[in-house]
């Protein structure tokens, strides 16, 4: 069973739906000890897992029409088995016969042989009905509260947002353009059998035609290339650091933006802060690979008294915790794990971090606020509140850039726009004490 990708996907989804584990955490728990899993089976496992998460709620809704009554809690695994089967039948290029037979086997593997007929009957009826996934199912794949919130915030763009969230995100690389040009990097990739193109907006980004194991690519171990979405690569550009500036990267893990900031200017005095000690180790690993140097501190960005010593900062990146609603195409489990009640708590947390970090910013300095969210509460409304309630705080306009949507406060990138994740940026400047 250990090499059965469908069974592994079932076990992983049970942890996601039953225990609220993220895909990454659940995958580590299920697959980390599996040995001898062939590449093709690993690929199928990952496709079944992410794809089923992506479409889970829509497939669950379809499934209800084929059941006389809902499954009992003790039979939650059967619902997941059928969702996996529906995903294969409706959304994958798998022969229907194979999809049905392999899904029926999962009931046997779960010690529920009595359910084989049910699984077989439901899937074969779906095939006979010639069901197809259409535009309406994109919205159905989101929880109701999220669907309504997106529709309220973005009534004109909501359908594109729903569809983009169900697409597959590209694999995008960041090139250390101090050491290697984009064109030379593309040519090097081609020599290794990997095809990619320059990003239309972000000068340091290469978008690959398809995924690959980047750790084996020439230049990765030396830090010349890194994996980072193009939208995330904008942070270092917007900070506009100059040589010898004192910089704080708050909420720094896993360290992609930290490394990029260090590549953007010489002799920076950079502090990388994160509350999670384990994730801070990821920052350390990223900096070791890319050759960057920073002071790493484990601490709460909302409570500088615990960790801050010395002078203020010329630049601060506040990449705050958020709903992740802009990166659902990469993390489809957000649809299953995020709750409506989380948003108010996140907004309060963001507000606390912003207020605390503002006190550390030198006069004339810049604070860049960013999220990977599309919710206005976390983005433009948050910045509007902050500017209106803090003296000497001015927004630095981003209207000269060629990406995203200009908002009353800040700038919003929609999921999939210019082949980027959904991100929000706002740049705040602290006026000198004398107002000059």
- The question of whether 393 is a catalytic residue gets the answer no
Q: Above 90 in pLDDT, residue 285?
A: yes
For the chain, percent of residues with pLDDT exceeding 70:
99
- Specify whether domain 239-430 bears CATH 3.40.50.1000: no
pLDDT in tens, 46-93: 999 999 999 999 999 999 999 999 999 999 999 999 999 999 999 999
CA atoms lying within 13 Å on the CB side of residue 47: 14
Cβ–Cβ < 8 Å for 428, 409: no
Round to whole Å and give the CA distance between 98 and 104: 10
Q: Above 60 in pLDDT, residue 435?
A: no
Q: Write down the pLDDT at residue 399.
A: 81
Q: Write down the pLDDT at residue 59.
A: 97
316 has which bridge partners? 248, 367
Which 3-state string (H, E, C) describes the chain?
A: CCCCHHHHHHHHHHHHHHHCCCHHHHHHHHHCCCCCCCHHHHHHHHHHHHHHHHHHHHHHHHHHCCCCCCCCHHHHHHHHHHHHHHHHHHHCCCCHHHHHHHHHHHHHHCCCHHHHHHHHHHHHHHHHCCCCCCHHHHHHCCCHHHHHHHHHHCCCCHHHHHHHHCCCCCCEEEECCCCCCHHHHHHHHHHCCCCEEECCCCCCEEEECCCCCHHHCCCCCCCCEEECCHHHHHHHHHHCCCCCCEEEEECCCCCHHHHHHHHHCCCCEEEEEECCHHHHHHHHHHHHHHCCCCEEEECCCCCHHHCCCCCCEEEEEEECCCCCCCCCCCCCCHHHHCCHHHHHHHHHHHHHHHHHHHCCEEEEEEEEEEECCCCHHHCHHHHHHHHHCCCCEEEECCCCCCCCEECCCCEEECCCHHHCCCEEEEEEEECCCCCC
Read off the pLDDT of each residue in 165-190 and give the average, rounded to a whole number: 96
Q: Using pLDDT thresholds of 50, 70 and 90, give the confidence band for residue 1.
A: low
172-227 and 239-430 agree in CATH topology: no
Round to whole Å and give the CA distance between 288 and 272: 14
Q: Above 90 in pLDDT, residue 199?
A: yes
Q: Write down the pLDDT at residue 34.
A: 84
- Residue 181 exposed, middle or buried by CB count within 10 Å (0-12, 13-18, 19+): exposed
Q: Using pLDDT thresholds of 50, 70 and 90, give the confidence band for residue 201.
A: very high
* Contacts (Cβ under 8 Å, ≥6 apart) of 75: 112, 115
Q: Write down the pLDDT at residue 7.
A: 96
Q: Per CATH, which fold does 172-227 belong to?
A: Alpha-Beta Plaits (3.30.70)
pLDDT in tens, 306-363: 999 889 999 999 999 999 999 999 999 999 999 999 999 999 999 999 999 999 999 9
Round to whole Å and give the CA distance between 10 and 52: 10
Return the domain boundaries, the chain: 5-133, 172-227, 239-430
Cβ–Cβ < 8 Å for 289, 266: no
Average pLDDT of every residue of the chain: 95
Q: How far is CA 304 from CA 43, 63, 354, 359, 398, in A?
A: 44, 51, 11, 9, 29
| Domain range 5-133, its CATH number among 3.40.1160.10, 1.10.287.3510, 3.40.50.300, 1.10.940.10 | 1.10.940.10
pLDDT in tens, 241-269: 999 999 999 999 999 999 999 999 999 99
pLDDT in tens, 331-341: 999 999 999 99
Q: Using pLDDT thresholds of 50, 70 and 90, give the confidence band for residue 436.
A: very low
Q: Write down the pLDDT at residue 202.
A: 97
* Contacts (Cβ under 8 Å, ≥6 apart) of 213: none
Q: Above 50 in pLDDT, residue 192?
A: yes
Q: Using pLDDT thresholds of 50, 70 and 90, give the confidence band for residue 39.
A: confident
CA-based torsion, 26, 27, 28, 31: positive or negative: positive
Q: Write down the pLDDT at residue 35.
A: 79
Read off the pLDDT of each residue in 206-224 and give the average, rounded to a whole number: 94
**Among the options 322, 372, 393, 427, which is catalytic?**
372
């Amino acid at each position: 069973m250990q090499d059965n990708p469908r069974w592994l996907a079932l076990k992983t989804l049970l942890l996601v739906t039953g225990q609220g584990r993220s895909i990454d955490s659940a995958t580590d728990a299920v697959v980390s000890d599996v040995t001898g899993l062939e590449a093709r089976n690993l690929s199928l496992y990952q496709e079944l897992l992410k794809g089923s998460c992506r479409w889970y709620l829509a497939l669950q809704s379809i499934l209800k029409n084929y059941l006389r009554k809902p499954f009992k809690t003790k039979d939650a695994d059967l619902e997941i088995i059928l969702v996996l089967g529906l995903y294969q039948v409706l959304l994958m290029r798998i022969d229907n016969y194979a999809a049905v037979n392999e899904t029926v086997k999962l009931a046997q593997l779960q010690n529920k042989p009595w359910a084989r007929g049910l699984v077989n009957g439901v899937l074969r009826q779906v095939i006979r009905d010639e069901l197809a996934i259409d535009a309406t199912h994109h919205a159905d794949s989101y929880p109701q509260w999220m669907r309504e919130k997106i529709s309220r915030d973005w009534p004109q763009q909501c359908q594109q947002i729903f569809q983009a969230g169900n697409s597959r995100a590209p694999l995008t690389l960041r090139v250390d353009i101090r050491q290697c040009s984009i064109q030379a990097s593309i040519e090097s990739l081609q020599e290794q059998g990997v095809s990619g193109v320059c990003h239309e907006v972000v000068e340091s980004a290469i978008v690959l035609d398809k995924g690959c194991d980047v750790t084996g690519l020439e230049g990765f171990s030396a830090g010349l290339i890194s994996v980072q979405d193009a939208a995330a690569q904008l942070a270092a550009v917007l900070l506009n650091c100059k040589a010898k500036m004192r910089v704080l990267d708050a909420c720094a893990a896993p360290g992609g933006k930290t490394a990029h900031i260090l590549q953007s200017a010489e002799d920076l005095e950079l502090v990388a802060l994160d509350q999670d000690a384990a994730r801070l180790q990821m920052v350390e690993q990223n900096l070791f690979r890319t050759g960057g140097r920073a002071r790493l501190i484990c601490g709460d960005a909302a409570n500088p008294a615990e960790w801050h010593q010395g002078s203020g900062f010329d630049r601060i990146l506040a990449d705050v915790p958020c709903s992740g609603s802009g990166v659902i195409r990469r993390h489809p489990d957000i649809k299953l794990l995020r709750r409506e009640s989380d948003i108010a708590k996140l907004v309060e947390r963001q507000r606390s971090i912003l207020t605390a970090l503002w006190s550390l910013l030198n006069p004339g300095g810049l604070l860049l606020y960013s999220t990977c969210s599309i919710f206005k509460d976390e983005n433009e409304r948050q910045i509007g509140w902050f500017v209106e309630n803090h003296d000497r705080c001015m927004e630095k306009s981003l209207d000269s850039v060629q990406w995203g949507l200009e908002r009353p406060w800040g700038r919003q990138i929609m999921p999939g726009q210019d082949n980027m994740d959904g991100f929000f940026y706002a740049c705040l400047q602290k006026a000198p004490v004398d107002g000059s």
